[in-house]
Amino acid sequence: MQRVSFFLILCAVTALFLSCNIDEKIVMALPPNIILDSETGIYTVKQGREITISPSYESADGATYRWTMKGEIIGTSPSLVFMREEIGEYFIALSVFTDEGVDEEEIRVDVVELEIPTTSIVGNKHQTVAVGTKLNFVASVRETSLATTLVWNVNGKTVSEQSTYCFVADNVGQYTVTATASNEDGAHSDSICIEVVNANDMPFIWEFGRNAYHTVVGRKLLITPTTYSKDEGITYTWQIAGECVAKGSESHFVFTAASAGEYNITATATTEKDGELITLSRDFVVTVYNAGVFYRARGVASKADWNKVYEYIPAPGQFINETKTGGFDGTQTTPETAIAYAEARMSEIDSNGNPNPIWVSLGGFGGYIVVGFDHSIDNSGDYDIGILGNSFSGSSEPGIVWVMQDENGNGNPDDTWYELAGSETGKAGTIQNYAVTYYRPNGAGMPVQWTDNMGNSGEIDYLKQFHRQEYYYPLWIESESYTLTGTCLQARNYDVSGNGTYWVNGEYDWGYADNFSPTDRLTDKDNSAAEANANHFKISNAIDFEGRPVHLGFIDFVKVQVGVNAKSGWLGEISTEVFGFYDYNMKK
């Protein structure tokens, strides 16, 4: 009876409660919910710039907020203002607390580098010119994704907003030419200081790279300045043992000796300025040897292949300093380590111990490598030297070949280089004594600028889609610029497609390394896999600085120098590659 009564009372109370909420909703309290304003939870901001992260929140009345990074609280507000100077990824935890619960999210902030448009003016940073001299300057600006402006100033006054600027001053004085590239991330400037003087006050220059020379009886030796004033009215006098042997307007001297011995040469350059006589004097010593004295016959232990790299001075290029395909590791910061790099590449062997050389890039025009052998290579009158490259049909990057005899017998390549004539020797498009000066870039990812001795300028392009080393300028070159000289062939590269997608580097008939020659490769294989294949050379093709044949009974050193100054669009600069050198007489 009591149980029935309790049940009836409970039903009545329940019915009464339900009747009181028929028209009302029951509201239940919920925990907070974070809604980020980035779908991925990843935010990007540039270094030194602020970013405000402002999530939305649900059920967050009376909430407290906590932003933490690496366990440290960095904010307690619904939004976070974040800024860092160092580039990198930053992970931040956001926690929201209410009486009903807690919600948490982890976000990532990527702090990226500012895209400041580094600029560089090609040319020497300090120049002296006469009043009225025109100087054409070109500014290179590192590419960014932001709109960039370029402004030229001379002594603080804006003079141009073009990529090039022609400077000319009508008055003597000191001038500073500045190019400034700017975008929303910042600005960068480069400057050149120019001293403008009267023509009569221009400095008188007559400088030589050395004062000691070696040669062989009967051979012509050219003694020529590296830099000199090209003013009219300068008289050059050359004396041997006090006797005048040449006098005139030529700044260089051709020396020939009929007998061995040591010859002392005194040269003077004389000119007159403002009634004052100016004279410069230079002294030289030429040691003359008999031909063949230091010949090194090959023996039973002699090897056909090269045995030492003496110099490796490439021009800037896309494979220089490159750590992947190029094989550099960042430690090549001295000439010695660069030579060791080249030797290791060309000495590589496979898993079975067989020779498996890897190419060494010589960069753009003028880049070179010098090797020697454990014996003298004889002049047979036929092919004597083999040089391995990776040419194939449509891909020739010709290298000029030079040979040297160890005339003074000291075992070093410090004597006279003789070019081996090729099919282009003497042709109108071939330039002898061509020189290109390369300038260190002002910032990472920039092209390398160059000027030549014919008044031209250009760039070795930075191909960021293929290579990402900071610089193409060799790490072991300490100077801010360096000059490479040699013979330059007329380029034979062309764009087949017409839209820059398909480039061909045409071949030359004969006489060049890394060249798909129909003559001196001595094979008809197409080498479509771009494997190592040789061109062959005759010592009997040696010529002197005048382009005349010179007889060398043997040679001891070989140099290959990149022979074209050109680039093929997205393929980059034309750059000779070598795998190795050998005495072909030992392989015939």
Cα 56 to Cα 79: distance, rounded to the nearest angstrom: 9
Q: What is the DSSP letter of 20?
A: H
* Domain positions in the chain: 33-112, 119-200, 204-289, 308-586
Neighbouring C-beta atoms of residue 210, cutoff 10 Å? 10
Residue 452 has pLDDT above 50, yes or no: yes
**Which of the four pLDDT bands, split at 50, 70 and 90, describes residue 202?**
confident
One fold for 33-112 and 119-200: yes
Q: Kindly tell me if the per-residue pLDDT of 99 is higher than 60.
A: yes
What is the H or E stretch that residue 389 is in?
strand 385-389
Top-confidence residue, 19 or 339: 339
The alpha carbon of residue 526 and the mean position of all alpha carbons in its chain are separated, in whole angstroms, by 31
Q: Specify the residue for token string 């030589």.
A: 208
Go through the chain and tell me how many residues it has: 588
Give the mean model confidence (pLDDT) for residues 80-100: 96
- Phi first, then psi, for residue 344 (nearest 5°) are -65, -40
Q: pLDDT digits over 285-318, tens only?
A: 999 999 999 999 999 999 999 999 999 999 999 9
CA-CA distance, 90 to 108, in Å (whole number)? Answer: 6
Q: Where are the beta strands (DSSP E) in 113-211?
A: 119-121, 126-130, 135-141, 149-154, 157-160, 164-167, 173-183, 186-197, 206-207
The CATH number, out of the four listed (3.40.50.1010, 1.20.20.10, 2.60.40.10, 3.40.50.2300), of the domain defined by the range 33-112: 2.60.40.10
Q: For the chain, give me the number of helices (H) and strands (E)?
A: 2, 43
Banded model confidence at residue 9, pLDDT cuts 50, 70, 90 = very low
DSSP state of 569: G
Is it true that domain 204-289 has CATH number 2.60.40.10? yes
Please state, in angstroms and rounded to a whole number, the distance separating the CA atoms of residues 467 and 308. Answer: 29
Secondary structure, 3-state, 303-340: CCECCEEEEEECCCCCCCCCCCCCCCCCCCCCHHHHHH
Q: Identity (one letter) of the amino acid at 583? A: D
Contacting residues for 503 by C-beta, under 8 A, at least 6 apart: 493, 494, 495, 496, 568, 569, 570, 571
Q: Pick from 345, 329, 335, 330: which is nearest to 313 by CA?
A: 335
pLDDT of the residue at 14: 43
Residue bearing tokens 């974040």: 82
CB 64 within 8 A of CB 75: no
Would you list the DSSP string of 471-516?
Answer: -SS-TT--SSEEEEEEEEPPP-EEESSSSSS-EEE---SSS-BT--
Instruction: Give the other-Cβ count within 10 Å of 501's Cβ.
Output: 10
Give 203's pLDDT tier (boundaries 50, 70, 90). confident
Q: Which of 418, 383, 412, 386 is nearest to 552 (CA)?
A: 418
For 119-200, CATH gives 2.60.40.10
For residue 234, pLDDT over 70 is answered with yes
Query: What does pTM read for this prediction?
Result: 0.84
Write down the pLDDT at residue 10.
38
As to burial, measured by CB atoms within 10 angstroms (0-12 exposed, 13-18 middle, 19+ buried), residue 486 is buried
Judge whether residue 7 has pLDDT over 70.
no
Exposure pattern of 330-351 as b/e (b: 16+ CB <10 Å)?
A: eebeeeeebbebbbebbbeeee
